[in-house]
Structure 1
Amino acid sequence: MQRCLDALATMLANDDFSVDEPRLGMEVELNLVDDTMQPAMANAAVLEAIADPDFQTELGQFNIEINVAPKPLSANNMRALEDGLRFSLDSADARAKESGSRLAMIGMLPTLTEEHFARHWFSSNPRYELLDQQIFAARGEDIELSISGVPLHDDGNVETLNTICETILPEAACTSVQLHLQVAPSDFPSYWNAAQALSGVQIALSANSPFFAGKALWHESRIPMFEQATDTRPQELVNQGVRPRVWFGERWITSIFDLFEENSRYFPALLPVVTDEDPVEVLAAGGTPKLTELRMHNGTVYRWNRPVYDTSGGGHHIRLENRVLAAGPTVVDIMADAAFYYGTVRALVDADRPVWSQMSFDAAEENVHAAARGGFDGRLYWPEVGWVGPQELVLRRLLPLADAGLESYGVDADVRDRYLGVIEARCLARQSGSVWQRASVAARESAGDNRATALAGMLAEYLDRMHQGDPVHTWTV
């Protein structure tokens, strides 16, 4: 790791990183369900049926992931990416049905229960079981999941999840959309700081994970679930202030090297795998080091906005990976969330006075948890505004910034209007995927369904609407 950091420091000093035109890159994690809406432990069979290298395994046998080839942000490329993603997902779902499964693009699969986290449900890749073993070896004890929810019904009853897990498979319940943006290393701190400041707003707008193990929890339960399911710290280390591996961070940064160095300093390596490459020697010989150990370790520190070093075409580059968005509900919702993120971050970076110079880092972190818990009902802090609801903040201040940022990227006006119009309408309706899921389950229970039946019925309707493709703010209960 230290040799990798030394090589990275030299490369940053030489400033010879590739910087392409701004591109939208995306990964979408998916769940698999059977005809009764229960988790389908079938990713090997489904991937064989899909037979597309863009689709890959994930941690649990009920997960797969699609990697969307990056496209330039300019002109109408976002619309072309939307069409391509919808075609890929429809084709993959048709083939998955041949093996008895369906694809579900949702933040957390509501029909998952504790029985689905037994060790034999890991995907076949040995890396996953090794990661599980190492996390539990570091903890020295089982993982406790404890989340108190937001009342679902008017009676104000709060449901609470308290359970002990013997594997990290609850992490597999947390399915997301990850957005990538290649930037110059010198620009990376501004983009990372802007993305951190915006994270709470993104979560409030896109919340889509209100149920887990039969409980109505937070609007975006994915956030606390992921934080707890991969925590390598026993309680005594938590009390001592040891950093968690799912980490928002603790300060604004001035160099991308800060993040890689923090990852190395604060977190012991989990995967004891090394290569023969000496990155310093490769660099001295005029080559491009892969920095394999640094990249592997970086992948086990789960920052909500993560720095990525990668190589391609003989060169090397830096990407910012944004990880706060839940998967779903529809392709157009995902594209709208992406457009809002890329546009707003660009505008915040271009601003005369950076937003991160006007708010504390702690306030940005508090926004993440307030948004995850309350969704549109959360209260967020924003400079010059104070504490405000996400709806008012987006409609009055951030949507114009997003439009200006997308225009700076050269995005066509009709494309900007299409996606930012979805965000505007979602705010006006105050309906994210989470809001619709909760309302649907509440209505089904009021009509006499028990929780399990209501969740399965809601999910079946969700999948139908997901494939119809109308944005979630138009869905009725």
Structure 2
Amino acid sequence: MGRLDVTPVSTKPQESNTFIHHLLKDVKLLERMIAEGQLDGDIQRIGAEQEINLIDSAYRPYPIMPEVLAVAEDSHFTHELAQFNGEINADPLPLGAGCFYALENQLNEHIAKLNHFAHQFDAKILLAGILPTIRRSDLDKTFLTPIGRYHALDILLRELRGEPYDFRIEGTDLLLDRHDSTMFESCNTSFQVHLQIPAREFASMYNWAQAIAGPVLSCATNSPILLGKRLWRETRIALFQQAVDTRSTTSQTHDKEPRVSFGTTWLEESVLEIFKEDIARHRVILNTTVDSDDKKDGVPRLSSLSLHGGTIYRWNRPCYGITSGKPHLRIENRYLPAGPTIIDEVANSAFWIGLMQGIPKEAKDISRIMDLEDARTNFLKAARMGLGAQFRWLDGRRITAKNLIIDHLLPLAYSGLQKSGLTKKEATHYLNVIKQRVVSEKTGSQWLLDNVAALKKSSTTDDAIVTATVGMLKRQKENIPVHQWKPIDALEMKSSNSRYHSVSQIMSKDIFSVQASDSVEYACSIMDWRKIHHMLVIDEKGSLQGLLTAGKLVHHITSQEQVGNQLVKEVMIKDPVTVSSDTTLEDAIALMQKHKIGSLPVVDEGRVVGFLSTNDIFKITAALLKK
């Protein structure tokens, strides 16, 4: 999570150069510590950071984490970017017999404790890579956690970019959006796993971590829906890169690596290659007054290096730390999503760490048998398609994700866990979760997509997503691995606590429209073909110009001798009554009754985002009567 007591880097050259001096000094200190063998290589530890979503009784984001943390008063719990996110830090554990049982117990205890305090505010904790019910209105900057680090990051990243963030993610649906802050990043919650690595083995182990990233991610996906759109199986990967991308679309004149990065080259000798590359490629954006002489238990903290590294988001990120008075290096796996359950998360961790420990001899110099570009492509394929991906593996052979995991990687992981001292029972317990999930092809992403599709047959998309989220939370509490989750049944649908509150939940987004300069004949034809009684008049920028209604057209046509040359602008209602997507249904219905109208264009920030008609209201009325 990083330091909270930081500020944007100073605009004064003397102050910013002082920080850069400390940063470069940290690099030299680390180089000397590695050369002198000062880093801990006698013990390996594992650790984890559990990011969470806080939701309200309607299963929507609930921005009260600062209040929950204030009453919890536990150093294991901390803030995240948005006030509806949080993080639980597990205590480091020696890698060996019982470590994954202990990690699972820790997480269960911490979540139970935090849930206890959340319930005091009528809130609940949900584990999901992306909360399915999140709405664009939840991404307003007013929900940014009021801590210096987050505001500093938001300001500096926006200044570096120089223009709003553009989002384009294409899956089954297409997400196109623009936002003026980093708040889109708050949609993402992950389960970050740490593995301590001896300095002498870091280069080969890090390279292997890059090679296996795609296959490991393919069986762990849990983030397929964002803002109601079905996108990648692990949409977090695309979203995170775009949410903090400082590269301007208008000023970019040369290739530049994004701050969220897979990496550009295999390591040759040591971790220093990564730290030096990150300093060379990415401007310093945060500052701290702590200098290179700051120590913990007599060991340099390397605070400047750690702070700068915390603003560069490699999916496998190298970290420096101090435990029990000894400095060490570790790899932080940042690509695994939160959820679907704690046992799934711990199984993902065991699979990854088992593979890391089971690295085959031929992979210790992986640059000879695999191109880094293939590893990067595998990673993106896994994020897009999950277990449906096909990879280019060692020596260039092609293989499906399913066959690679079952036939090759699970045996390697099992060997690695036994090598690390785990009992056969513990290794088998967690790796069987992975095996059964892969064999059945039932990941968290697949479960959510299947259930939303089934629920949409008898309800709106929004209600289907809310109901599926209710089902997720219920199954999550049971801590049954996702491959054993049952579909949502009729009884659950009836007992679902989902409710229709706002226009956005039921409005139509599939809009047919015309422009003011189009002919009335053209508009009438579309309305006849599509069996619709209302049509929006929208300009090329998406702004509302007017509204056509069947009644208005009939009146106009019957009162004119010739209509062939009539234009839409001569017939349309030029100042229609509108609502926003956040308008309550109660208020929207009241407006329709007051003005005696059967439709309402939905407009946010000057742009048409949907259309509400009496037919939409009739649909939910029928659904509620069935319940």
TM-score, length basis structure 1: 0.94
Q: How does 1:399-438 map to 2 (within 5 A)?
A: 399-438=410-449
Corresponding position: 1:310 with 2:321: yes
- Kindly state the Cα deviation for residue 19 of structure 1 after the two structures are TM-superposed: 3.1
The 2-side partners of 1:77 and 1:288 are apart by 27
Q: Gaps (5+ residues) in structure 1?
A: 152-158
> 1:248 is matched by which residue type in structure 2?
F
Corresponding position: 1:464 with 2:486: no
Cα distance per residue 1:14-51 (max 9 Å; x no partner): 12112352222111100111010110001012223433
Going from structure 1 to structure 2, the CA distance change for 1:161 and 1:385 (only over 3 Å counts) comes to: same
Corresponding position: 1:225 with 2:239: yes
Cα distance per residue 1:176-210 (max 9 Å; x no partner): 11111112211111111111111111211110000
Q: How does 1:442-457 map to 2 (within 5 A)?
A: 442-446=453-457, 448-457=458-467
Cα distance per residue 1:138-164 (max 9 Å; x no partner): 011111111011x3xxxxxxx111111
- Kindly state the Cα deviation for residue 354 of structure 1 after the two structures are TM-superposed: 4.3
Is the 1:274–1:293 Cα contact (8 Å) retained in structure 2?
no
2:219 counterpart SS class: helix
Corresponding position: 1:393 with 2:392: no
* Matched pairs, number: 464
Aligned equivalent of 1:139: 161
> 2:425 is matched by which residue type in structure 1?
D
- Kindly state the Cα deviation for residue 3 of structure 1 after the two structures are TM-superposed: 1.5
> 1:272 is matched by which residue type in structure 2?
N
Higher mean C-alpha deviation, range 400-409 or range 41-50: 41-50
Match of 1:272 among 272, 287, 294: 287
Q: How does 1:66-215 map to 2 (within 5 A)?
A: 66-149=88-171, 151=172, 159-215=173-229
The 1-side partners of 2:262 and 2:477 are apart by 33
Is the 1:106–1:209 Cα contact (8 Å) retained in structure 2?
yes
> 1:86 is matched by which residue type in structure 2?
N
Higher mean C-alpha deviation, range 185-194 or range 382-391: 382-391
Is the 1:197–1:356 Cα contact (8 Å) retained in structure 2?
no
The 1-side partners of 2:30 and 2:262 are apart by 23
Is the 2:185–2:239 Cα contact (8 Å) retained in structure 1?
yes
Larger relative contact order, structure 1 or 2 (CA cutoff 8 Å, min sep 6): 1
- Kindly state the Cα deviation for residue 135 of structure 1 after the two structures are TM-superposed: 0.2
Is the 1:24–1:73 Cα contact (8 Å) retained in structure 2?
yes
- Kindly state the Cα deviation for residue 114 of structure 1 after the two structures are TM-superposed: 1.5
- Kindly state the Cα deviation for residue 441 of structure 1 after the two structures are TM-superposed: 0.5
- Kindly state the Cα deviation for residue 312 of structure 1 after the two structures are TM-superposed: 3.7
Match of 2:82 among 50, 60, 73: 60
Q: How does 1:291-302 map to 2 (within 5 A)?
A: 291-302=302-313
Is the 2:292–2:304 Cα contact (8 Å) retained in structure 1?
no
Match of 1:16 among 24, 38, 45: 38
> 1:48 is matched by which residue type in structure 2?
A
Q: What is the root-mean-square deviation of aligned Cα atoms in Å? A: 1.8
Is the 2:204–2:364 Cα contact (8 Å) retained in structure 1?
no
Cα distance per residue 1:107-162 (max 9 Å; x no partner): 0011112211211111121110110000011011111111011x3xxxxxxx1111
Higher mean C-alpha deviation, range 81-90 or range 378-387: 378-387
- Kindly state the Cα deviation for residue 289 of structure 1 after the two structures are TM-superposed: 2.0
Cα distance per residue 1:370-425 (max 9 Å; x no partner): 01011111111211572222111100111100000001101110001100101110
The 2-side partners of 1:76 and 1:350 are apart by 27
The 2-side partners of 1:453 and 1:238 are apart by 42
Higher mean C-alpha deviation, range 320-329 or range 43-52: 43-52
1:69 counterpart SS class: coil
> 1:173 is matched by which residue type in structure 2?
C
Bigger radius of gyration: 2
> 2:265 is matched by which residue type in structure 1?
R
Aligned equivalent of 1:475: 485
Instruction: Give the percent of matched residue pairs that are identical in Structure 1 and Structure 2.
Output: 33
> 2:435 is matched by which residue type in structure 1?
E
2:336 counterpart SS class: strand
- Kindly state the Cα deviation for residue 358 of structure 1 after the two structures are TM-superposed: 1.1
The 2-side partners of 1:167 and 1:352 are apart by 41
The 2-side partners of 1:120 and 1:352 are apart by 48
Is the 1:3–1:278 Cα contact (8 Å) retained in structure 2?
no
- Kindly state the Cα deviation for residue 86 of structure 1 after the two structures are TM-superposed: 1.3
Cα distance per residue 1:37-96 (max 9 Å; x no partner): 110001012223433210110010010000011112211221122122112212322321
1:326 counterpart SS class: coil
Is the 1:22–1:409 Cα contact (8 Å) retained in structure 2?
no
> 2:147 is matched by which residue type in structure 1?
N
> 1:454 is matched by which residue type in structure 2?
A
Going from structure 1 to structure 2, the CA distance change for 1:237 and 1:380 (only over 3 Å counts) comes to: farther
Aligned equivalent of 2:29: 7
Higher mean C-alpha deviation, range 322-331 or range 2-11: 2-11
Going from structure 1 to structure 2, the CA distance change for 1:89 and 1:20 (only over 3 Å counts) comes to: farther
The 1-side partners of 2:436 and 2:251 are apart by 45
Is the 1:245–1:300 Cα contact (8 Å) retained in structure 2?
yes
The 1-side partners of 2:477 and 2:252 are apart by 43
The 1-side partners of 2:365 and 2:448 are apart by 36
1:464 counterpart SS class: helix
The 2-side partners of 1:417 and 1:313 are apart by 31
Match of 1:258 among 255, 273, 280: 273
2:421 counterpart SS class: coil
- Kindly state the Cα deviation for residue 316 of structure 1 after the two structures are TM-superposed: 1.5
